């Protein structure tokens, strides 16, 4: 039988198998050819249960083997050639290694290729076929050899050679190559992958179809096609987020809220009597908020600003106006201790205007609580500060008109629901120090209006930041000791709590041990997420009061109470953190206006990472967050960890023209929510996202 003929028959047989298998996106991964029960389990470890999961499993990166070279021109390095096999032989080396050696010929020249311990090779290589071979060309013993190249029939659909090749995240027992093989098999036999976006969106945004996008993202036919594919998939993600935002916004705007009168003269008086001048960002934000409050639509605004940028006073201006116009304010802090601090601050700012600030904490006596609640119900308390417990139905306000929520990422969906359940709906101001890139914030919090305080008060000195080589740890702590001797206090942050044998990264426990020697004579304590919260508060309070010199901690300290005396932040295992997160941590020191220092020390090695050097240069949280987004991708964006289930695979679309179109189309689509039901997958995605993120 002729070769060509036999291939035809083979092809028709495989097509038959495929039809029998009836490959569908919803099929279990175990139905894929070559995937047995054991391999299916391994796929499961990567979160791949179905065929759909597999095609949506994005390559981590690509290797470009698309440049096919003539043998006479090849140079050492990664190469691809298209050649025939002139001869093959197998032998055992002196050390007992199985060696397959082939001479390959592409007409321009000859080259030897070698495979070790792949005894099946020799039989698989046919002399009358043309192959692609991709691998590393090495020059040794005065000749070129292609080492362990991947080989594929040139007449086939190449997956491992002669193209841009996808590299996947692997797991023990399941290599990137095996995943690639499975993806190729699936894409070959899957019928057209259905479109998930409205036609108008695809057309107006000039997107490639979902079918083409998924095929090209795995096996790109060119760099441009890959970019188009990634753009299409990112567009889809951003669009879904945008719909979630538009739905929430629509729902919220249908609800009535209190109309707060703007008391201009008292507001001006308060601002004039502050011991400082407001920054331009503070002024603009306060203006945005006061405008919102005068409308009868519920405000839902996010106030973003670095730690120390002065968000509290902006919130106080809002609280002032609400109280003066007869409403009450709930001020929600993440912990009791922070609530206490906020209550003090607000009282000192607002007491001159005859406003009453109340504080409700878990540690109050039952009688104290009852008394406070009564005064609240009677309207004697203007501003109630506490943890989110103050939003429970048992805490009854006479006329709640504004809820200020500090540290927005600790505030859950349930609490938002509690607020929305009230009539009228209180205006909502959320404050966050998490520097989420603006583009991301716009889509992620589509239902929110955003105000940003981009600058720091002029009196604030940026924390001096320095990278230290891991092999000079004792030198670093000598420096720390010298700063402590001048009366400073130090945070030492580590990425994990417990000692384990894995790797050189220091844990809180390791450091507790090590620093008792390196920082002898200074008092130290540890805090981390496994301590009970009252225990943690107790230690924090000691640190705040200056009774402790050194606090060894996990990142639990990244938000929280002010420690005015702290001027040193040491970050161990610094390579484990995002830039924005480190920036957040170093914002915890120097709060009294003293010069503060931040030392970054990687787990090992003597040449600190280039990424971390950005922190020596930049002191802008938003800039650093943008950089994180670029260098580490959306999954690693600080502040989004609690949104892990969002499962963003791409950085959101950020060019303003596309964003505008996305917003427009999303708003249009939600005008008639039934329409959304026509796009099953999109609808499912939107529902998943709403459940995780916000108010619906």
| Cβ-based nearer residue to ligand ADP, 305 or 327 | 305
Distance linking the first and last C-alpha atoms of the chain: 66
CA distance 612 to 615: 6
| Cβ-based nearer residue to ligand ADP, 84 or 620 | 620
Provide the minimum distance between the beta carbon of 404 and ligand ADP in the complex, in angstroms, as a whole number. 11
| Cβ-based nearer residue to ligand ADP, 225 or 340 | 340
Provide the minimum distance between the beta carbon of 409 and ligand ADP in the complex, in angstroms, as a whole number. 14
| Cβ-based nearer residue to ligand ADP, 308 or 633 | 308
Q: Note whether 419 and 428 are within 8 A (CB).
A: yes
Q: Which one of the spans 25-33, 111-119, 278-286, 392-400 is the region binding ligand ADP (CB under 6 A)? A: 278-286
Q: Which one of the spans 4-12, 233-241, 277-285, 654-662 is the region binding ligand ADP (CB under 6 A)? A: 277-285
Provide the minimum distance between the beta carbon of 292 and ligand ADP in the complex, in angstroms, as a whole number. 19
| Cβ-based nearer residue to ligand ADP, 165 or 453 | 453
Map 514-556 to HEC letters: HHHHHCCCCCEEEECCCCCHHHHHHHHHHHHCCCCCEEEECHH
| Cβ-based nearer residue to ligand ADP, 39 or 285 | 285
User: Is residue 457 a contact residue for ligand ADP (CB under 6 A)?
Assistant: yes
Q: Which one of the spans 159-167, 176-184, 271-279, 688-696 is the region binding ligand ADP (CB under 6 A)? A: 271-279
Provide the minimum distance between the beta carbon of 688 and ligand ADP in the complex, in angstroms, as a whole number. 33
β-bridge partners, 329: 383, 402
**Shortest Cβ contact with ligand ADP: which residue?**
310
Chain-centroid distance of CA 212 in Å reads 27
Q: Site for ligand ADP (CB under 6 A): which residue of 10, 116, 157, 276?
A: 276
C-beta neighbour count of 546 within 10 angstroms? 13
Q: Which one of the spans 239-247, 301-309, 321-329, 464-472 is the region binding ligand ADP (CB under 6 A)? A: 301-309
Q: Note whether 330 and 342 are within 8 A (CB).
A: no
- For residue 606, the SS3 value is coil
Provide the minimum distance between the beta carbon of 218 and ligand ADP in the complex, in angstroms, as a whole number. 45
Provide the minimum distance between the beta carbon of 631 and ligand ADP in the complex, in angstroms, as a whole number. 26
CA distance 125 to 136: 19
7-66 binders of ligand ADP (CB under 6 A): none
The residue written with tokens 């290599």 in the block is 175
| Cβ-based nearer residue to ligand ADP, 531 or 541 | 541
Binding mask 306-345 for ligand ADP (x = CB under 6 A): -xxxxxxx--------------------------------
Cα-Cα-Cα-Cα dihedral of 313, 315, 317, 318, to 10°? 180
User: Is residue 272 a contact residue for ligand ADP (CB under 6 A)?
Assistant: no
- For residue 669, the SS3 value is helix
Return the DSSP state at 174. B
Question: Per the structure block, which two tokens stand in for 483?
Answer: 């700063």
CA distance 370 to 409: 30
Strands, E assignment, 117-263 = 130-140, 143-153, 164-167
Provide the minimum distance between the beta carbon of 589 and ligand ADP in the complex, in angstroms, as a whole number. 13
Provide the minimum distance between the beta carbon of 308 and ligand ADP in the complex, in angstroms, as a whole number. 5
| Cβ-based nearer residue to ligand ADP, 303 or 330 | 303
Q: Which one of the spans 77-85, 175-183, 270-278, 511-519 is the region binding ligand ADP (CB under 6 A)? A: 270-278
Q: What is the largest CA-CA distance in the chain?
A: 100
Neighbouring residues of 329: CB distance < 8 A, sequence distance ≥ 6: 318, 319, 322, 323, 382, 383, 384, 400, 401, 402, 403, 404
Question: Per the structure block, which two tokens stand in for 644?
Answer: 């892990």
Q: Note whether 316 and 402 are within 8 A (CB).
A: no
Of 579, 692, 581, residue with least CA distance to 644:
692
| Cβ-based nearer residue to ligand ADP, 310 or 608 | 310
Provide the minimum distance between the beta carbon of 339 and ligand ADP in the complex, in angstroms, as a whole number. 13
Provide the minimum distance between the beta carbon of 313 and ligand ADP in the complex, in angstroms, as a whole number. 5
| Cβ-based nearer residue to ligand ADP, 151 or 433 | 433
CA distance 393 to 389: 9
CA distance 527 to 533: 10
Provide the minimum distance between the beta carbon of 583 and ligand ADP in the complex, in angstroms, as a whole number. 13
| Cβ-based nearer residue to ligand ADP, 303 or 395 | 303
User: Is residue 433 a contact residue for ligand ADP (CB under 6 A)?
Assistant: yes
CA distance 536 to 225: 53
Provide the minimum distance between the beta carbon of 332 and ligand ADP in the complex, in angstroms, as a whole number. 14
> With contacts defined by CB under 6 A, how many residues of the chain interact with ligand ADP?
16
| Cβ-based nearer residue to ligand ADP, 263 or 282 | 282
User: Is residue 241 a contact residue for ligand ADP (CB under 6 A)?
Assistant: no
Provide the minimum distance between the beta carbon of 278 and ligand ADP in the complex, in angstroms, as a whole number. 5
| Cβ-based nearer residue to ligand ADP, 241 or 314 | 314
Cα-Cα-Cα-Cα dihedral of 133, 138, 140, 142, to 10°? 70
CA distance 480 to 586: 15
Of 237, 401, 234, residue with least CA distance to 318:
401
Q: Are strands 449-453 and 489-493 parallel, antiparallel or unpaired?
A: unpaired
CA distance 48 to 37: 13
Provide the minimum distance between the beta carbon of 406 and ligand ADP in the complex, in angstroms, as a whole number. 7
Provide the minimum distance between the beta carbon of 466 and ligand ADP in the complex, in angstroms, as a whole number. 24
291-314 exposure pattern, b = at least 16 Cβ within 10 A, e = fewer: ebbeeebbbbbbbbbbbbbbbbbb
Provide the minimum distance between the beta carbon of 360 and ligand ADP in the complex, in angstroms, as a whole number. 20
Provide the minimum distance between the beta carbon of 345 and ligand ADP in the complex, in angstroms, as a whole number. 7
C-beta neighbour count of 620 within 10 angstroms? 17
CA distance 424 to 327: 11
User: Is residue 305 a contact residue for ligand ADP (CB under 6 A)?
Assistant: yes
Q: Which one of the spans 94-102, 229-237, 303-311, 662-670 is the region binding ligand ADP (CB under 6 A)? A: 303-311
| Cβ-based nearer residue to ligand ADP, 283 or 466 | 283
Q: Note whether 71 and 110 are within 8 A (CB).
A: yes
Please work out, in degrees rounded to the nearest 5, the angle formed at the alpha carbon of residue 577 by the alpha carbons of 550 and 444.
120
Q: Site for ligand ADP (CB under 6 A): which residue of 278, 289, 440, 600?
A: 278
Return the DSSP state at 279. P
| Cβ-based nearer residue to ligand ADP, 185 or 621 | 621
User: Is residue 462 a contact residue for ligand ADP (CB under 6 A)?
Assistant: no
User: Is residue 408 a contact residue for ligand ADP (CB under 6 A)?
Assistant: no
User: Is residue 279 a contact residue for ligand ADP (CB under 6 A)?
Assistant: yes
User: Is residue 564 a contact residue for ligand ADP (CB under 6 A)?
Assistant: no
CA distance 208 to 232: 6
User: Is residue 459 a contact residue for ligand ADP (CB under 6 A)?
Assistant: yes
| Cβ-based nearer residue to ligand ADP, 544 or 651 | 544
Question: Roughly what angle, to the nearest 10 degrees, separates helices 280-293 and 311-324?
Answer: 30
| Cβ-based nearer residue to ligand ADP, 148 or 345 | 345
Consecutive H or E run containing 590: none
Residues near ligand ADP, by CB under 6 A: 276-279, 282, 305, 307-313, 433, 457, 459
């Amino acid at each position: 039988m002729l070769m060509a003929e036999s291939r035809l028959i083979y092809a028709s047989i495989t097509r038959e198998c495929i039809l029998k298998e009836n490959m569908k996106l919803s099929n279990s991964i175990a139905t894929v050819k070559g995937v047995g029960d054991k391999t299916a389990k391994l796929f499961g470890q990567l979160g791949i249960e179905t065929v759909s999961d597999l095609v949506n499993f994005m390559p981590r990166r690509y290797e470009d083997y698309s440049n096919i070279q003539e043998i006479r021109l090849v140079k050492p390095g990664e190469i691809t050639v298209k050649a025939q096999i002139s001869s093959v032989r197998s032998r055992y080396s002196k050390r007992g290694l199985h060696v397959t050696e082939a001479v390959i010929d592409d007409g321009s020249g000859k080259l030897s290729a070698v495979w070790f311990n792949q005894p099946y090779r020799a039989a698989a290589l046919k002399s009358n076929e043309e192959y692609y071979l991709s691998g590393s060309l090495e020059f040794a013993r005065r000749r070129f050899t292609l080492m362990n190249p991947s080989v594929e029939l040139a007449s086939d659909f190449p997956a491992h050679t002669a193209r841009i090749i996808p590299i996947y995240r692997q797991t023990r027992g399941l290599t990137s190559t095996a995943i690639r093989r499975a993806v190729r098999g699936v894409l070959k036999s899957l019928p057209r992958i259905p479109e998930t976006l409205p036609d108008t969106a695809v057309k107006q945004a000039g997107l490639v179809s979902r079918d083409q996008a998924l095929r090209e993202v795995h096996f790109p036919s060119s760099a441009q096609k890959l970019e188009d594919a990634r753009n299409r998939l990112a567009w889809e993600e951003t669009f879904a987020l945008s719909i979630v935002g538009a739905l929430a916004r629509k729902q919220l705007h249908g609800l009535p809220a209190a109309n707060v009168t703007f008391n201009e003269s008292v507001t001006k008086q308060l601002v004039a009597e502050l011991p400082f001048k407001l920054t331009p960002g503070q002024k603009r934000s306060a203006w945005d908020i006061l405008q919102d409050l005068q409308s009868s639509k519920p405000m839902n605004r996010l106030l973003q600003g670095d730690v120390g940028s002065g968000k509290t006073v902006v919130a106080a201006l809002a609280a002032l106006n609400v109280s003066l116009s007869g409403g009450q304010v709930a001020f929600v802090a993440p912990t009791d201790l922070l609530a206490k601090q906020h209550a003090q601050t607000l009282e000192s700012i607002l007491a001159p205007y005859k406003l009453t600030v109340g504080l409700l904490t878990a540690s109050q006596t039952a009688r104290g609580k009852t008394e406070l609640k009564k005064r609240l119900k009677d309207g004697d308390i203007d501003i109630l500060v506490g943890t989110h417990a103050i939003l429970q139905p048992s805490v009854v306000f006479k006329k709640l008109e504004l809820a200020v929520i500090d540290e927005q990422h600790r505030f859950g969906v349930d609490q938002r629901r509690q607020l929305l359940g009230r009539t009228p709906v209180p205006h909502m101001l959320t404050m966050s120090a998490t520097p989420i890139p603006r583009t991301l914030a716009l889509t992620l919090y589509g239902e929110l209006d955003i105000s940003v305080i981009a600058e720091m008060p002029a009196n604030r000195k940026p924390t001096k930041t320095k990278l230290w080589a891991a092999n000079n740890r004792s030198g670093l702590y000598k420096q720390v000791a010298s700063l402590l001797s001048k009366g400073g206090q130090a945070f030492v942050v580590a990425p994990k709590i417990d000692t384990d044998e894995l790797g050189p990264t220091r844990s809180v426990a390791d450091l507790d041990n090590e620093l008792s020697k390196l920082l002898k004579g200074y008092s130290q304590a540890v805090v981390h997420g496994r301590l009970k919260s009252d225990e943690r508060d107790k230690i924090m309070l000691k640190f705040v009061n200056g009774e402790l010199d050194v606090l060894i901690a996990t990142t639990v300290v990244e938000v929280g109470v002010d420690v005015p005396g702290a001027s040193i932040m040491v970050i161990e295992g610094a390579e484990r953190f995002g830039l924005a997160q480190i920036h957040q941590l170093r914002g915890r020191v120097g709060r009294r206006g003293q010069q503060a220092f931040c030392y970054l020390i990687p787990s090992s090695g003597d040449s600190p990472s280039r990424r971390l050097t950005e922190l020596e240069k930049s002191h802008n949280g938003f800039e650093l967050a943008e950089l994180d987004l670029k260098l580490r991708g959306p999954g690693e964006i600080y502040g989004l960890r609690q949104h892990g289930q969002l499962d963003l695979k791409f950085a959101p679309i950020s060019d303003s023209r596309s964003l505008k179109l996305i917003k427009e189309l999303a708003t249009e689509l939600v005008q008639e929510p039934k329409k959304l039901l026509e796009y099953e997958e999109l609808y499912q995605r939107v529902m998943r996202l709403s459940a995780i993120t916000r108010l619906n």
